Structure 1
Amino acid sequence: MTVVSWLMRLGFLRSPPLVGLVADAAGLRFGLLIVPAAGAAVVALGAVLLHRAEPSGTPPPQKPPAGRA
């Protein structure tokens, strides 16, 4: 939770200057396009968390041996 909080703080402090730099170089429309693009990237990369293993205290489910009931 602490890592997520620090990443949110860094994003809050770093994103306005980044948008400003891009807006100066390529235009305001493209600069503001960074915000939804970053959100889409977070959603897409967040899907990786769904495939993580169970917590270390919980063993993975065992399948019964083939041919035995």
Structure 2
Amino acid sequence: MKRRYNPYILPPWLRKVRGVCAQFIIPICVFQGIRTILFPFTLDVLLLTVLILLAIAFHFELL
């Protein structure tokens, strides 16, 4: 049986780090998207994909 995720059982410092990451993930995605458009390397595309998945996970509170 899968346990449900509850962010309130995390330590306060980890909740604060999670909140800061959630605020900065969108600007980092935008910057990486612009960089990927200008200089499309394989690593940049993979990094942008990971960042977008992290942004989605933070938005839907999966992390």
TM-score, scaled to structure 2 = 0.46
TM-score, scaled to structure 1 = 0.42
Larger radius of gyration: 1
Of structures 1 and 2, the one scoring higher in RCO (CA 8 A, sep 6+) is 2
Higher helix share: 2
